[in-house]
Structures are given as structure tokens and as C-alpha cells.
Amino acid sequence: MDDTSKPHKTLPIKEGIFKIKDGQYFLVGTRCKSCRRHLYPPVEICPFCFVRDVEEAYLSRRGKLQAWTVVWVPPAGFEAPYGVAYVDLPEKVRVFAHLADYKADGLKPGMEMELVIGKIKVDREGNEIIGPKFRPVANGG
Amino acid sequence: MRDVYILGVGMTKFGKFPEKRAVDFGREACWDAIQDAGVDRKDIEAAYCGHVYQGSVIGQLIMRELGLTGIPVVNVENACSSGSTAFREAYIAVAAGLYDLALVVGVEQLSTRVSGVLPPKDTDYEGTMGLIMPSVFALRGRLHMEKYGTTIEQFAKIRVKNSIHAAQNPRAQFRKVVTVEEVNGAKMVCEPLTMLHCCPNADGGAAAVICSEKVVRNYTARKLRVAASVLLSGTMEQAGDDMTVSSLTSRAAQQAYEKAGLGPEDLSLVELHDCFTTAELMHYENLGLCPRGEGGRMIDEGKTMLGGKIPVNVSGGLLCKGHPLGATGVGQIAEVVWHLRGEAGSRQVEGAKAGLTHCMGGAIGGVDGASCTVNIIVRD
Ligand SMILES: [Zn+2]
Ligand SMILES: [Zn+2]
């Protein structure tokens, strides 16, 4: 049972993987200064060219839907049903995220999607854990 | 490197046995393999144990039960490829000339640990985001449907086929033949995969005794040679990569075919990692059993059915024989050995000469799988 005497917090799924800029949420990854490739979530060492000379990079808020499914038998902490998807960003990064609406109709590979931040799960202490979600761009963007 | 041969195998029944411990499965499987091999226990020089959740030094706990103390014992964890990785470590040591006789065992007691889906990795971003194994193969399978017109009926037929095979395997967990309607009508797990598109959690053990070419003649005239034993890890998956392709499995298979000096057309049977129906269909393509996009046709035309051109998972596969993680890879090897010897009973693949086993395990973010093994075993 939830312990209602303790105030529950809202926490990011991982510190530093999304930030607000100009009033909008952005996913934050890494850009390698040597090969210029982007990675998400952020890394300390570029796995492609094995250098530590990497910098923080804000990633595009829109990308193309690759594949998705709706999970009906959830692992602990998750509330079913929830949709999960892979979205390819223009920076050539493939992001694993939730679907903002698991009931979203007419999803197609290649469809334009945009980032929102929302509830992913609830942790053992009852805190709401938020992270990246994607939804279809209205009117095809 | 020297040639390596399989002298004996053993396998417990797979299923849910909450009253038994991993040590029990290991002891029974090893006992059977040692009897089957006809070797003196004292001649076993080293042991390798594959498992995922069985804790520290499970291999030594099993060896103590057999009085096999004092020898080197190696414990191996590599997700669903743990047992086959243990097999490969033993193979390498024997091939290198370190030992002439080695014992491999794979065990898992899952039913007392996990109910429902295996928990996602909390040490990995995608795991913390709720990526469970069924979702990995659900979304890749769905993409295969979009890309090639593969249908949910074709995926369901994989389960039906494997259930028909398992009905003839006394060691299988599920021996009831199911229909396409039953498979697709079961409880939804991850769209479009219902419970019956997913392999069950299982308990069990499997073992093998392997030896060098130097001593094989002392034991048998029936030489079953390990023609290839390959292990690889996944590579970075980037935007634009085709998610209907497991480049990890394709690369491992290619290496194994090259090492063995044969191709998919030379195989008599295949035991592949059908953790989900979608996985089996896509692995037809990854292992080169058919061209890309034709997995659906393979199952429609009955090519992978017992009696077909290339029977796949005649044991019942993970879907129906059961998937006790650490035992799975060694169990596949036992199945191939029984067929190469003509000892597989009513599910025998007639005149089997060469068999391939394949495991792939572990979902981690950014790469296309954690571990993959491919073994090819031939009758010389
Ligand atoms: Zn780089
Ligand atoms: Zn598996």
C-alpha cells in the first residue's frame, strides 16, 4: 500500500536525460567531438571511436516511428497497458520511449512523432517516475 | 586446435518443479550424461556450468553431489546463451589441448523465483523504461508484418508446429497440441503476442560430456564432432538499421557455417531460440534457412515441420519444451545428439547427419542483443 503520510515526489527516470529549454522539453544525449556521432542516453566514452572528448547535445524533438507494441502484462511498477516504441531522430539516434497514448490509432512505421515527458512508472517509495514519451505529430507535422 | 567430440548427453524433463532445486536438475542431468558417455567419472578433468539466476558456485554444488570435487569448475552467466556459452568454454579448453574429457551442465530453477514475465534489467536505460523480452520480439515481429505482409496466423503456426513436435517429446513441458485459434485467443501479453506466442518459464537441467580426438576412439566408434562453436555479442544498433534483422544471429551463423565448411542446405535439423513465435520466424531468415521476408512462407509450406525440408525445433523448442534459461543451450545440443544417433524415437529426423543449435539472449539498450551462440554438430 502507498504510504500517504510521506509526500511523493516526481523524479526523472534517469538524471540528465531530458531538460527544459525555451519552455520545451528536449532529450539530452552526447555528441562525440571526434566522429560527431550522437548517442542517447548520454555516454562518457564514444563507443565508436573510443575518445572521452564528448559534449552534451540537445536532440531533435521530432523523429520517425520505427516499431512499437502495447504491453498488457507489466513488470513491477508499471501500469498496463502501456505502449513502447523505437523512434529514430534526425541525429541518427534510435530512442526507446513510451507511447503517450497506447490507444493511438493508425500508427505506421516512418510516421512523424514528437516528444512529450510524462509518467513512466511508480517506484517502490511511491514516487512518480517521469521520462520520454512520443505522440504522433498533429496533422502530419 | 584439436577436433572435439560429444560422448554423452543427459536432460531432465523441463517444466515447473517448485519442489526441486537447481542442484537436483544438475545432478540428474550429469548422471545421465556420464552414464550415456560410458566414461569413468575419475577421468573428467574439468566442469563448466551455465545458469542465470542460481547464485554463486552452483557448478561446485552440483559437482559435490557427484563426487567430482577437486577439479576446475567454471560458472558461466550469459543470459539465455549461458548453457551454450559453458559448452563453448569446455569446447575451447578441450580443443586447445588443456583437457581430454570435460563435463558441461546447464541448470535453472525459475518457478520458485519468477512468476510471469522476467523482470527487466534495472542496470540498463531501456530496462528501467519497461523493455521486457516479449516487447522486444513483439515490436520486431510487428515490423516484419508491416514490411513483408507476414500475418499473426503465420506466427501462431510456429507454436502449433512446435506443439505437434513436443507431443512426441516426453521431456517437454507442454505436450498438448494447440490450434491457431487457441494461440491467438490466449491472454494478450505484448501486442500482437498472446501468452501462447511466448515461451513458458521452466525449470530443468541438461548436460554433455565432451572429449578430444585423442581419446574418442577409447569410448565410441560413433563419432559426433563439434564442427563449429561460435559465441558473439551484439553490435551498436543505430537509427536506420532494419529491426526485422538480427545481425547478431546472422553474423554468428555465418561464422559457424564457415568454420564447419558447410551451409544451411547441409543441415538435417535446427534447434533455434524460439523464445517467441516471432523470433523463430525471423531466425529462419537470420540463419539463412530462407531469404529475407520469406519466413512466413517457410511455415506455410511446412518446410520446418518434422518431415519437411529443414525441420526446426523438433524437440518442441523453447515454446513447448520449455525454457529453463541456463539449461536451454545444452538441452538443444542433447536433442541434436539424439537425432544424429537415431535415438529420437517418434520425432526422429531420418538419416540426420548435421544439426545446428542457436541461442540468443539478453536485451540491452543500443545493441542488437547481448549474447548469441551457434553450434554445428556433425556425424563423421
Ligand atoms: Zn566518436
Ligand atoms: Zn531466451
The arrangement of strands across the sheet holding B269-271 comes to B73-76, B46-50, B101-108, B204-212, B4-11, B224-233, B371-379, B354-361, B269-271
- Integer Cα distance of B78 and B326 in angstroms: 8
Cell numbers given for B359: 541461442
According to CATH, what is the number of the domain B4-113+202-225?
Answer: 3.40.47.10
Instruction: Please say if the pLDDT value at position B208 is more than 60.
Output: yes
Report whether pLDDT(B123) > 90. no
The whole-number pLDDT of residue A18 equals 96
Q: Chain B neighbours among A 10-69 (CB < 8 Å)?
A: 13-14, 17, 39, 41, 47-48, 66-69
Residue B191 amino acid letter: E
CB-CB neighbors (< 8 A) of B239 in chain A: 88-89, 91-94
Would you state the pLDDT for residue A139? 61
Whether the bond between A81 and the residue before it is cis, its omega within 30 degrees of 0, is: yes
Annotated catalytic residue, options B165, B273, B323, B358? B323
Tell me which of A48, A71, A133 to substitute to probe the interface with B (most B C-beta atoms closer than 10 Å): A71
Mean pLDDT throughout B198-204?
95
CA distance B238 to B40: 52
- The pTM of the full predicted model, rounded to 2 decimals, is 0.95
**In chain B, residues 228-287 whose CB comes closer than 8 Å to chain A:** 236-241, 243
Cα distance between the two ends of chain A: 43
Q: Strands B4-11, B204-212: parallel, antiparallel or unpaired by DSSP? A: antiparallel
Q: Is the pLDDT confidence value at A141 over 50? A: no
Q: Ligand 2 mean position to B201 CA, how many Å?
A: 10
How confident is the model over B255-266, as a mean pLDDT? 98
Query: Cα distance from A23 to chain B (closest Cα, Å)?
Result: 24
Three-state DSSP state, A22: coil
CB atoms within 10 A of CB A7: 7
State the complex-level ipTM: 0.91
* Alpha-carbon separation of residue B169 from B49, B108, B276, B296, B360 (angstroms): 25, 20, 20, 25, 23
Task: List the alpha helices (DSSP H) in B199-341.
Answer: 213-219, 247-260, 277-286, 295-300, 317-321, 325-341
Give the mean pLDDT of B193-199: 97
Cross-chain residue pair A72–B190, CB shorter than 8 Å: yes
> The domain at B125-198+228-379 falls in which architecture?
3-Layer(aba) Sandwich (3.40)
Residue extents of the structural domains in chain B: 4-113+202-225, 125-198+228-379
Q: Is the pLDDT of residue B148 over 70?
A: yes
Where along chain A do its domains lie? 3-140
Q: What is the reported pLDDT for B306? A: 98
Q: What is the DSSP letter of B236?
A: B
Query: Crossing angle, helix B277-286 and helix B247-260, to 10 degrees?
Result: 50
Q: Is B54 in a helix, a strand, or coil? A: coil
Residues B76 and B82 sit within 8 Å (Cβ to Cβ): yes
Q: Measure B122 CA to nearest chain A CA, in Å.
A: 11
DSSP letters for A76-113: TT--SSEEEEEEEETTTEEEEEEES-TT--S--TT-EE
* Contact present, B79 and B118 (Cβ < 8 Å): no
Assigned C-alpha cell, A119: 509518467
- The pLDDT of residue A89 is 97
Q: Write phi, then psi, for B33 (nearest 5 degrees).
A: -65, -40
Nearest chain A residue to B128 by CA: give it: A13
Residue B347 near residue B169, CB atoms below 8 Å: yes
List pLDDT tens digits, range A10-24. Answer: 999 999 999 999 999
- Tell me if residue B372 is catalytic: no
Average pLDDT, chain B: 96
> What is the average per-residue pLDDT within A110-117?
97
Lowest mean pLDDT among B71-75, B105-109, B153-157, B358-362: B358-362
Q: For A42-93, write each residue's pLDDT tens digit.
A: 999 999 999 999 999 999 999 999 999 999 999 889 999 999 999 999 999 9
Most confidently modeled of A68-77, B113-122, B143-152?
Answer: B143-152
Give contacts of A 59-98 with B, CB under 8 A.
Answer: 66-76, 78, 82, 84-86, 88-89, 91-94, 96-98
What confidence score (pLDDT) does residue A6 get? 67
Mean of pLDDT over chain A: 92
Instruction: State which residue of chain A sits closest to B146, comparing Cα positions.
Output: A109
Q: Is the separation of the CB atoms in B336 and B342 below 8 Å?
A: no
Mean pLDDT over B148-170 rounds to 98
Residue A1 pLDDT exceeds 50: no
Cα separation, B95 vs A34, in Å, equals 42
Instruction: From chain B, pick out residues whose CB is under 8 angstroms from the CB of A71.
Output: 130, 132, 134-135, 189-190
> Does A71 contact B130 at a Cβ distance shorter than 8 Å?
yes
- Evaluate whether B4-113+202-225 and B125-198+228-379 have a shared fold: yes
User: What residues of chain B lie within 8 A of the CB of A120, using their CB?
Assistant: 129-130
Looking at per-residue pLDDT, the higher value among A117 and A5 belongs to A117
| Closest ligand relative to A37 C-alpha | 1
Percent of chain B exceeding pLDDT 70 equals 100
State how far the Cα of B260 lies from the Cα of A62, in Å rounded to an integer.
Answer: 47
B80 given a catalytic annotation: yes
CA distance B374 to B228: 8
CB B375 within 8 A of CB B333: yes
Do B322 and B200 meet the contact criterion of CB atoms below 8 Å apart? yes
Rounded Cα distance between B112 and B135, Å, is 24
Quick one: cell of B32?
A: 545421465
Whether B341 has a pLDDT exceeding 70, the answer reads yes
> Using CA of residue B237, residue B242, residue B244, residue B250, what is the dihedral sign?
negative
Mean pLDDT value across residues B65-91: 98
Under 8 Å between Cβ of B23 and B212: no
Q: What's the average model confidence in pLDDT over B287-305?
A: 98
For B143, name the nearest residue in chain A, comparing CA atoms only.
Answer: A67
Contact flag A41-B125 (C-beta cutoff 8 Å):
yes
Looking at the complex, does the CB of residue B365 fall below 8 Å from at least one CB of chain A?
A: yes
From A57's Cα to the closest Cα of chain B, the distance in A is: 17
Confidence category of residue B103, pLDDT binned at 50, 70, 90: very high
Q: How far is A121 from chain B (nearest CA, A)?
A: 8
Residue A33 pLDDT > 70: yes
CB contact under 8 A, B125 and A96: yes
